[in-house]
Chain A
Amino acid sequence: MTAPTTHERAHQRVPLWRDVIVLKWVTQVFLLVVVLSTMFFLATQAGDNLRARNIVSTFDFLERPIDIQLSEGIDTHPDTGARALWTGMVNTLRISVAGIFFATLLGIVVGLARLSDNWLVRRLGSMWVETLRNIPLLVQMIFYFSVLTTLPRVGLGTGPINGWFHISNKGISMPRVFIADGFYQWLMVVGVGAVAAHYVRRHRQRIQDETGAMTSPILWGIGTVALFGLIGIFVHPMFTWMGGIFGAIADLLDSLPIIAPQILFSVVALGVAARWISRFLTDHRSVRGHLSLSDDDWFRIAFAALASLIIVFVLVRWTGFSSWTLNSGRDLFHVLEDKFNVDGAARPFDAMRPDIIQKSRFPNYGKNGLTMSIGFAAVFFGVVFYTSAFIGENVRGGILAVPKGQSEAAMAVGLGRGQVLRHVVLPQAIRIILPPTGNQYLNLLKNTSLAVAVGYSDIVQIGQTTYNQTGMTLPVVAIWMLFYLSCSLSISVVVNWFNVRMKLVER
């Protein structure tokens, strides 16, 4: 018999054990089964071991009363486990947000210093980066902590500037500017001002584009917002009526049945999946409308459909999520209603000077000022200095990656050094700086977990105290992971959004 032709060979059925597609899927399913069975095995082992020790691992401790005292936070004597963990989360977020802000500022300064013309400034920047990058963060934090604890004690006459700024071994105390009752109404006025500023900026920009006169549109926009802010300090009570609107919305949410959010989220999930699948199919159609899908494409479609069905199933079975949504929405709008229903004498901001009181044997900081405790200061300085070194390197790398020809051409056209930086180099450099800097923000958030070593009550430290008291190690670790994963995901989403915007602007 003659050998089969190419055409015949192409249309012969390949035996099952040689078919690449079958082998591919068999290995994948096999690995999936192995992974799932390992996880199942570990879970059952854990269950058996816990039962053998008479420990019931549930999330009940969140509702039960707990007896711990925290060193700082929104609630230093929490009554339930959930409240304690929530205080920890707020502490972590507080120090992360403050840390990100100051680390970025310092990082930009360090990066620009390393690129300066001045030899001394360059050496200073290099020493800063080389020292801080090569010492572990924990060691740095512990060093700052041990230095801060050896500061002198609080006395009635303490501080570099008594009555305004105190430094002692209880922490750093400074004047506190805080949000008073009229803040949200003032915010409304500033919002109106922002809308007005948008139109003012557009108008000035149009004049600049048409006539070429330097009309500084951005400065005018900022100036408009500032003007509205200034006026708002006096006229903000005019927004008191918004409280009534929020109250009505809260009552509306209260009257909704539980099934309403369930239907809403299910429809959204199914709709998103359906739209994705239809777009996928459209992309894969040939010009004449034929559809040729590979096995991977079928997998993707099946995965999308399955994911949306799982979401719907979870929503239907677990009514807790919908009732939580309704309740939280209602509570949120009640809170907003209260914030807007204030009398006219309220002010948007208030300020208080720090005080030193003596209730028992030793003087201590009073409640008036903004006190940065030793733990907070150690974590804050450690994290800000450490991350600023990395952000400085990213900034330097980004600016160096802009081709030299760009700055040379700009200088040839007659722009000064500052103008070259602002109009030519930085817009191109920001695209390169942003992804690794977003990564550094994630690292900063995760590095604040080291606060457990210096006694600052962040979520890891409070979680440790909680599980030492209640014995619920697994649920606490699960809450940790959920919290950090959601924060990381949020930061990643924001940074990716910026990245995508920068790309479009470049085109």
Chain B
Amino acid sequence: MSEFAGLGADLGMSTGMIPITAPPETPKLPPREWVKANLFSSPFNSVLTVVASIIILAITRGLMSFIFNPQRQWDATATNLRLLMTQAYPEEQYLRIWIATAVVFTLTGLSLAVWRAGSAVPLSDVGRRLLTFGGTIALLVLLAPFSVRATIIWLVVAVAVAGGGEALRRLVDDERTMSTLGILLIGLSGLVGSLWVIPYGNHTFQLHRTPRVLAEPGTVALTTKLPWTVMLLVAVAAYFLGIFIRERLPTNAPRITLLLLWLLMPPTLLYLVLRDPSFDMGHVLGTDIPIFLVYAVLGGALLNWLARPSTGEIGRIVAALVLVAAFAAFLTPMRMIVRLDMLVLAAFALAAPTFSGGPRARKNYVIGWLGFLGIMSWLVTAINTPSTVKVPGQFFIGGLSLTLIVAVFTIVISFPLGLALALARTSNMPIFRLLATWFIEFVRGVPMITILIFFSIMVPLFLPPGMHLGEVAAVIIGYSLFSAAYLAENVRGGLQSVTRGQHEAAEAVGMTTSQKTVFIVLPQALRISIPPLVGHCIGVFKETSLLAIIGLFDVLFIARSVMPNQTEFMGSTKENVLFVSLIYWIFCYQMSKASQRLERRTGLGER
């Protein structure tokens, strides 16, 4: 695309068109003029200003009085933070949770570096924002029902912040900039530092009571200040490591590796770290690994042969035979893993002509097969081993961790499903189109809660005797089907916006339909669909709150039903629910801001 832009400019210059000048800048008004223009420009506007200020002041005063009312039981939330985050995960094994968090922070640091996140913001801008921030603190403090001493202390703090901002604005040169990552680091360091100074979650209560699901005595800050400092240091170290890698290697390799690591991270953390499975090494070495090796070697050889361009029709017949064998395997008694491996081999065999090519392409394809087979075998083995973590309730973890697990797995599982549905819905073949359309319209016309109730209660009804599906797994399947239907609609818009010329050019070059779809249409369609996709992810994250209705221990359920039932904290629903809504708001707001940034970035077109 960029070469066309250059071409256009050259053409313009050569035909003597008028050079384009920037539009005149609107002058920045001094404060008094700004107030007059924006707030009091007409009588109607003045009335609106007065009404709006009354509304804002009333709401702020109400919120401040609500939050700082001495009757509020904020220690309910503060003491139960561990419950809210991980729901009774045993204390002895809490190191696993910190390891999982450290892994996530490492990957985040590496990604921030490799994808060059963060932009430069001028220091005078930072100063202006600090000034506004100080002003807002002052306003809030004046409206809050503080004692005189507290009001004066906070006003001093507000004036200090505002003064610092104003000083920054006036004294610093206009050109000096600062990275947003630097600002983020300063903010996070401030928060972690405050953990060492302020004793959050201080509460004295009875030590010996049953059940012992509350945080251990002491303060939340006391137990978490060291781990959080370590996390921050790990993230910073990973960031610099990422910069080091970025400088040394070409662009694509680190990005693809990081993407694969991100995809591998949820199942690894869940099945290896958090669940602490007790692998039966005899079974693994005796059965699972031999099956994997047999399929790897034989399947790899078969795929290598099928991916040769010279194989031709024999190859497709062989692939069809493998598919028939896979379906026959489902009808005969056999291990499930053997059947699944056969099915995956059939899928790879049928797709081999699409990815056929020279030795390097074939090698990549076989490596893809080995990787996929390995991950699938490992997942099936890990899912079937029991966990040693025993907690009350259905699932071994709860709280915010359960919300994140359900959301991430839903997005990961529903993405290929949604793609397939979108491709089916825009396909030329009538039966695919009809089936996909009926499925999508059915799922979109029904509320999520009915699907959730259906999947959580009635899945055991549909399974053959002997097969058992956990409640969380069934719920994730329900969420994925629901999310796939909505995702299909988003991707469909992107698919339909790929111009006809692309299709025709691909066919003119000789690509088959599958090759055209995979290599030409999908990359463009997905790129266009990224903003609605991110909005969809935000929606999935919000929908996981419905787990509270089914009775799974997610954040909302704990805040609403578990915590107000503790004898010290009865009637604390409002505070807990307000805290939970704050958590959700922070997550969703950051995601929507990131989506806007992403939109702006891809809009500039770095082809």
Using a CB–CB cutoff of 8 Å, the interface residues on chain A facing chain B are: 17-18, 24, 27-29, 31-32, 35, 42, 45-46, 49-50, 116-121, 124, 130-131, 133-140, 142-143, 146-147, 150, 296, 299-300, 303, 442, 446-447, 449-450, 452-453, 460, 464, 473-474, 477, 480-481, 484-485, 488-489
Contacts and interface: CB of A to CB of B under 8 A. Distances in A.
Given A118-B52, A134-B588, A142-B556, 13 more contacts: A118-B48, A120-B48, A120-B49, A124-B55, A134-B584, A135-B581, A135-B588, A137-B542, A449-B450, A450-B449, A453-B548, A474-B458, A485-B442
B549 A120 contact: no
B446 A446 contact: yes
Contacts of A50: 461
A450 B549 contact: yes
Given A143-B574, A447-B447, A120 B432 contact: no
A131 B582 CA distance: 10
A474 B560 CA distance: 29
B580 interface: yes
Nearest to A443: B447
B364 interface: no
B448 A446 contact: yes
Given A118-B39, A134-B589, A134-B592, A139 B580 contact: yes
B450 A473 contact: no
B574 A150 contact: yes
B531 to A, nearest CB: 13
Interface stretch (B6-14, B95-103, B410-418, B423-431): B423-431
Given A35-B435, A42-B462, A146-B574, A449 B543 contact: no
B41 interface: yes
A265 to B, nearest CB: 23
A119 B584 contact: no
A474 B457 CA distance: 10
Contacts of B48: 116, 118, 120-121
Contact of A135 (B458, B574, B585): B585
Interface of B: 38-39, 41, 45, 48-49, 52-53, 55-56, 313, 317, 428-432, 435, 442, 444-450, 453-454, 457-458, 460-465, 538, 542-543, 545-546, 548-549, 556, 560, 573-574, 577-578, 580-581, 584-585, 588-589, 592
A146 B449 contact: no
Contact of B463 (A32, A45, A130): A45
A150 B465 CA distance: 49
A199 B463 CA distance: 66
Tell me whether chain A's interface is mostly helix, strand or loop, or mixed: helix
A473 B446 contact: no
B283 to A, nearest CB: 28
Contact of B560 (A18, A29, A142, A150): A142
22 contacts: A35-B435, A42-B462, A49-B460, A49-B461, A50-B461, A118-B45, A121-B52, A124-B56, A134-B538, A134-B588, A138-B546, A138-B548, A139-B577, A143-B577, A150-B574, A296-B428, A299-B431, A300-B430, A303-B430, A453-B549, A481-B446, A488-B446
A136 B539 CA distance: 9
Given A28-B429, A31-B431, A134-B585, A142 B445 contact: no
The secondary-structure label for the interface of chain B is: helix
B556 A138 contact: yes
Contacts of B445: 442, 484-485, 488-489
Contacts of B574: 143, 146-147, 150
Contact of A477 (B39, B55, B458, B578): B458
B288 to A, nearest CB: 27
A136 B542 contact: yes
Contacts of B461: 45-46, 49-50, 474
Given A118-B49, A143-B578, A477-B454, A136 B584 contact: yes
Contact of A143 (B45, B49, B538, B581): B581
Q: Which A-B residue pairs are the 3 nearest by beta carbons?
A: A134-B588, A446-B447, A488-B445
B577 A449 contact: no
A408 to B, nearest CB: 14
A146 B570 CA distance: 13
Contacts of A28: 429-432
Contacts of A474: 458, 461
A88 to B, nearest CB: 13
Nearest to A20: B513
A139 B584 contact: yes
A120 B51 CA distance: 10
B432 A117 contact: no
B341 to A, nearest CB: 19
Contacts of A489: 445
B604 to A, nearest CB: 20
A93 to B, nearest CB: 14
Contacts of A485: 442, 445-446
Contacts of B449: 449-450, 452, 460
A442 B313 CA distance: 50
